[in-house]
Chains A and B, each alone.
Chain A
Amino acid sequence: MIDNLITALGAEFVQLSLTPIVIGILGAVACALPGNFLLLRRQALIGDAISHVVLPGIVAAFLVTGTITAVPMMIGAGCAAIVAVILIEIVKRLGRVEPGAAMGLVFTTLFAAGVLFLEMTDTSSVHIDVQHALLGNLESLIWFDAEGWQSLLDPVALATLPPQLPRLAVVLVGIVLFITLFWKELKISTFDAAFAEAIGIRTRVLGFALVVVTAIAAVAAFDAVGSIIVIAMFVCPPAAARLMTNQLGRQIGWSVALAVISAVLGYVFAGYGPGWFGSPYAVSAAGMIATISGIVLLLACLFGPQRKRTGQRAEA
């Protein structure tokens, strides 16, 4: 058993599994953090809308620049997310419709446009397709030059880390900074927008900033892990955390912990789970991580200490 564990965590683990796990964790946490505020502001589906419009964004970036390098793609996706948020606002005002319908209208249209552009232009030679956008390629983010744990201290090997890892790390630091710097403002405007306005917090600007941060998290994570994890991590860990505690600080702590658990367990089950049933193939890690986060949420719905609304009695 111990021997198994040591081989499991040996050089091969560092080379093949360490970076995907770390990237999965970083992506999950980067999405779960802003997800907490979106959840409390009843904007949980903004994450859903944003991750749908990432596809037209990268297609547009490809059409403009003709390359598939990461930076223009991320800029394109970020712009698409912001355009989508503005369009949603316009449709909401113009049509005087509920936000859900406006969102559904905008993101399906943009997604359809993205798919169509993709099909119409000759992108068969390059590596973007709808499946990739949805599923990411977590499993392929391996660290070729690693020879074992000692490679973590070797600058030459470190330089060959998949670029998604440092990128996500930077984004995560940015998100943590945003939340700590504006902690008070975010907290007040989330729970009592009118009061926040009264004491001089610019709630609309802050709300837009939150959406931009969400978009950045979605775009950075999407590149590595695909849209499914992004949507799942925006909603599931914060929702489960919401059922565990009544305090925002603790809720965020819980959500980070649950996101990490989902990412690690999901990756392990996807990579090694089928082997336990005698199948030589791995299943989609992105899908498995989303599934695990759903199971975590289900457990919280059944047993979370704060799962009821205030004043709602347990049904007999």
Chain B
Amino acid sequence: MSFLDYFINALFLQAGYNSALVAVGAGLLGLAGGGAGAFIFLRKRALVSDAISHATLPGVGIAFMLMVALGGDGRWLPGLIIGSAISSGIGLLMVEWITRQTRLTEDAAIGAVLSVFFGLGIVLLTIIQTMSSGRQAGLENFLLGSTAGMLISEATTIAIAGALATAFVFMLRRPMTLVAFDPEYAATTGINVRHIDLAMMGLALIVTVIGLKIVGLILIVALLIIPPVTARFWTNQVGPMIGIAAAIGGLAGYIGAVFSAAAASLPTGPIIVLVAFGFFVFSALFSPLRGGLASALRHWRFQRRVHRRQGLLALARREPIYDGFTLRILRQSGMIRPDGVATLRGKTASQKAAHDEARWAMARRILPDDSAIERYDGLTPIEDMMTQDQIDEIDRVIAEQTGAPA
């Protein structure tokens, strides 16, 4: 079976029980990560989740050692998840405490917690490696994630926790939105901003600890950051943005897991991250709202309009035009002949432009507070931005001043 066949089979969950399990688990994880990450992104605290994810490592180590000391199998996933949740919770509280109690800024607190907890975790891992008891193999897999030989119980744990996190996102969406956009106002409506902030980060924590097994603790933060950044390209509204972020996260998790099932030797975490990045690149280029192509097109159109307008005004004032781009635009639109003399069409258009310019100049004098003046970009015809009554008034004043009959 070729790679492609296998990939397509796996995509429709036909490639065996285990890979279907992993794919669904990774999809749910991405869903929860994208949704929770959207709020953290809007609150501008994306990298706090990096501190949280690195801070899981000591918990994994201690949980393993405790479980072995109690005579159990050190690799029991729920136990490791609880341990990692406790230690990353401590890490999160440390970030909060350092930021509130000392003069250090949040980024310094993040960097400190991230590196120190990770260092401590590595120390514990080296201790575990020397332990005679316990089946120590496999803890390093939490660094980069590994789905090979995942157990049904582990997949179920991940699926349940992912569903829980998604439910929490749904329940807390209103206070979290409010806090993300306007913490001061949220506080006046009686919301405890600090608690909501902690809840937000708690969600990131849940996603992180359940993602350890699949994506690994170094890259899990990508599932919280890349989907919301990508979703931001497609909408300016909170509700849709969360939905899109969750969908992108879910798709990235699902496709990435399927892909790595088809190419068995490749680690799952990096592939999921790169799939998510693919969504980002596509959005950054092709989104009609803020994408690179759309922006470039808008810029190009605007530039043409400015040159056309300035060229027409110059024609009306009988000034020579030197700018090559302006000349080219005027020539292409048939406003001037190749020798630079205005055609009939050009004369009409230039008179209209000059008339429009004069009306705008008068509008600025007699209606200085009108909202259209504020919004005027120097190009739009006055008919598109003001009412007929206003334009009649402007024309009347112009006629009065030039002495011609109204």
User: Which residues does A use to contact B, with CB under 8 Å?
Assistant: 39, 42-45, 47-48, 52, 91, 94-98, 100-105, 108-109, 111-113, 115-116, 119-120, 130-131, 134-135, 228-229, 231-232, 234-236, 239, 242-243, 270, 274, 279, 281-284, 286-291, 293-294, 297, 301, 304, 306-310, 312, 315
Contact = CB atoms under 8 A, between A and B. Distances in A.
Contacts of A97: 41, 229, 232
B229 A236 contact: no
A315 B292 CA distance: 49
Contacts of A111: 218-219, 270
B174 interface: no
Nearest to B104: A239
Interface string B118-159: 111111011100100000000010011000000000000000
A283 B119 CA distance: 11
Contacts of B116: 232, 236, 290-291, 293-294, 297
B312 to A, nearest CB: 33
Nearest to B130: A281
Interface stretch (B75-83, B182-190, B273-281, B348-356): B273-281
B134 to A, nearest CB: 15
Contacts, number: 211
B108 A307 contact: no
28 contacts: A96-B290, A97-B232, A98-B44, A100-B45, A100-B46, A101-B228, A101-B229, A104-B46, A104-B226, A109-B273, A112-B269, A115-B267, A116-B274, A130-B144, A134-B143, A231-B114, A236-B111, A239-B111, A242-B103, A243-B102, A286-B122, A291-B119, A297-B116, A301-B97, A301-B101, A304-B102, A307-B103, A309-B103
Contacts of B292: 94
B122 A284 contact: yes
Contacts of B225: 101, 104-105, 108
B138 to A, nearest CB: 14
B270 A112 contact: yes
Interface in B70-125: 97-98, 101-105, 107-108, 110-112, 114-123, 125
A294 B119 contact: yes
Given A120-B266, A279-B130, A297-B116, A100 B44 contact: yes
B271 interface: yes
B233 interface: yes
Contact of B111 (A48, A98, A113, A229): A48
B108 A235 contact: yes
A135 B110 CA distance: 20
Contacts of A294: 112, 115-117, 119-120
A120 B260 CA distance: 12
A100 B107 CA distance: 9
A237 to B, nearest CB: 10
Nearest to A94: B284
B197 interface: no
